[in-house]
Amino acid sequence: MTMTVRFGTDGIRGRAYDEITTDLAYRLGYAVASVFNTPVFVGYDTRESSPPLAAAVLAGLRDNGAAGVNLGYFTTPGVAVVARQRSGVGVVVSASHNPYFDNGLKVLGLGGGKLDHATEEAVAEALNVAPSSTGPFEEVAIDETAEHDYARHLRSIVPRDLSSLHLVLDCANGAASHVAHELFESTGARLTTINDRPDGRNINEKCGSTHVEGLVAKVVELGADLGLAFDGDADRLIAVDAKGHVRDGDDLMILFATDFFERNTLGGGLVITSMANLGLHHALQATGIAIVETDVGDRNVLMSLEEQSWTFGGEQSGHLIFRDLAPTGDGLLTGLMLADLVVRRGPLAEQAERAWQRVPQQLINVARESYDDEEVHRLFEELRADYGIDAADVRLFIRPSGTEPVVRVMIEALNGEFVESFAARLQSIFLA
């Protein structure tokens, strides 16, 4: 008897071999073959569990009559591009920025885009009635041409000579390790690459977009112009400027949006999420750029872009979507475009300092089993009264994570001391 499976905000995710099993992967492949009548391109990240899970997906596709293509180690946005180029759909085995012992299964629709809700439900229903299999599963030959096609495609979008720059790339020991060096080497830039030796267990481990301390140190040590940190499946980017300052998605969105706006290529306004810093709102309003705020999640950003017929949006976490250029967020594309921006408009630090001022903000992750909503709101109102802060000058945002068993509590205010006090009190209550 199989368990009923539901898709979360980013596919199905959980502990590898416990929640994300080869049987589940086989059934997902079988389900995708039931819903789509196109080639299915399967890529996976560098976790030790990913190749066996991908083999199970490919077996499920084969057993239900689908043409499954093994892309091998591949970034999530790379799978999306290949699916678009070759008129198919995609399946990605990855848990993105999670630790190596987690994994996930994500389905990309026709043209490599996110599944709409109806299609996702159809895949879920087919998965829950699909036959089981525990293998063994045969190895499928890897299409060795796809990665090079993907790299050439990105260079065609950003063809600029970057030989004036020294770039440091942090590949998070993830999927970018197999393509980032080739891609950025073709730009002529001087390269230093770190965390590009995956061993199956070191993906995202104290590196990449969620742990940028090592990248900051390396950029400062080498006097590099720019640091680029990817996550495990390379769909997001966090940057480090030449002064060693971390520049997240909020920084990058204001810079790209302003550049597009001034060149009359913005294509509407900017879609942001509820996690965007209050300072970003203020800066965008000052420029006259229209904004729409949506719930957290790159899928929600993409859906809003499509509804507005706009071309650009993103998240503070580094998911940036250039809808006219790519079917989904792509950290490598964002990195190329950022390097291009630096060549055209000057050092990243100077651009960011001119563009906006960040409002003090902190994000605290609280384990779901210990979270108490009433206690959080009581603390918030108590401290707000103590500091005499007007409700318009502070924001509390709470949401359950769609990818981890935590509740994310975000606090921001014009008064930085209030933010620090609230975060410290919250951590003393829930994280002691």
Sign for the pseudo-dihedral over CA of 288, 294, 297, 301 = negative
pLDDT band at 432; cut points 50, 70, 90:
low
pLDDT at 390: 87
Mean pLDDT of 185-211: 98
| pLDDT digit string, tens, across residues 227-246 | 999 999 999 999 999 999 99
Region 141-163: mean pLDDT is 97
**Phi/psi of residue 50, each to 5°?**
-70, -45
Nearest by Cα to 191 from 224, 149, 148, 154: 224
**Confidence check: pLDDT of 173 > 90:** yes
pLDDT at res. 179: 96
pLDDT of residue 4 exceeding 70: no
State the amino acid at position 126 in one-letter form: A
Q: What is the mean pLDDT of residues 363-380?
A: 90
Average pLDDT over residues 208-216: 97
Q: For the whole prediction, is pTM greater than 0.85? A: yes
Is the model's pLDDT at 2 over the cut of 60?
no
Coil/strand/helix, residue 374? helix
**Residue 397 reports pLDDT greater than 80:** yes
3-state secondary structure of 174: coil
Please tell me the distance from the alpha carbon of residue 28 to that of residue 90, in angstroms, as a whole number.
12
- The half-sphere exposure of 335 on its side-chain side, counting CA atoms within 13 A, is 36
Residue type, 177: S
Each residue's pLDDT tens digit, 255-277: 999 999 999 999 899 999 998 99
pLDDT of 134 over the 90 cut:
no
Q: Judge contact between 66 and 58, C-beta under 8 A.
A: no
279-305: average pLDDT: 92
* Cβ atoms within 10 Å, residue 369: 8
399/349 Cα distance (integer angstroms): 31
Q: What is the pLDDT of residues 43-91, one digit of tens each?
A: 999 999 999 999 999 999 999 999 999 999 999 999 999 999 999 999 9
Residue written as tokens 């998965």? 127
User: Cβ(115)–Cβ(123) under 8 Å?
Assistant: yes
Q: Are 206 and 241 in contact (CB under 8 A)?
A: no
Q: What is the DSSP letter of 178?
A: G
What token pair was written down for 158?
Answer: 């950003």
- For 265-287, the DSSP string reads ---S-EEEETTS-HHHHHHHHHH
Q: Domains, the chain, ranges and CATH?
A: 12-147 (3.40.120.10), 156-246 (3.40.120.10), 248-328+346-354 (3.40.120.10), 361-430 (3.30.310.50)
Asked if 28 and 55 touch (Cβ cutoff 8 Å), the reply is no
The β-bridge partners of 293 are: 272
The whole-number pLDDT of residue 117 equals: 86
Residue (of 100, 78, 91) closest to 39 by Cα position: 91
Look at residue 391 and tell me whether its pLDDT is greater than 50.
yes
- What is the per-residue pLDDT across 300-320, written as a single tens digit (0 to 9) for each? 999 999 999 999 999 999 999
Percent pLDDT > 90 in the chain is 84
Residue 1 has pLDDT above 50, yes or no: no
> What is the structure's pLDDT at 114?
86
**Banded model confidence at residue 296, pLDDT cuts 50, 70, 90:** confident
Other beta carbons within 10 angstroms of residue 48's beta carbon come to 15
- Tell me what the pLDDT averaged over the chain comes to: 94
Residue for token pair 């975000």? 410
pLDDT at 9: 62
pLDDT at 344: 98
- 3-state SS, 189-239, equals CEEEEECCCCCCCCCCCCCHHHCCHHHHHHHHHHCCCEEEEECCCCCCEEE
Look-up: residue for tokens 């640091």?
227
CA distance 158 to 179: 16
Which residues are annotated as catalytic? 96
Which residue would you say has higher pLDDT here, 134 or 71?
71
Residue 295: count other Cβ atoms within 10 Å of its Cβ: 15
Is the pLDDT confidence value at 168 over 60? yes
End-to-end CA distance of the chain: 41
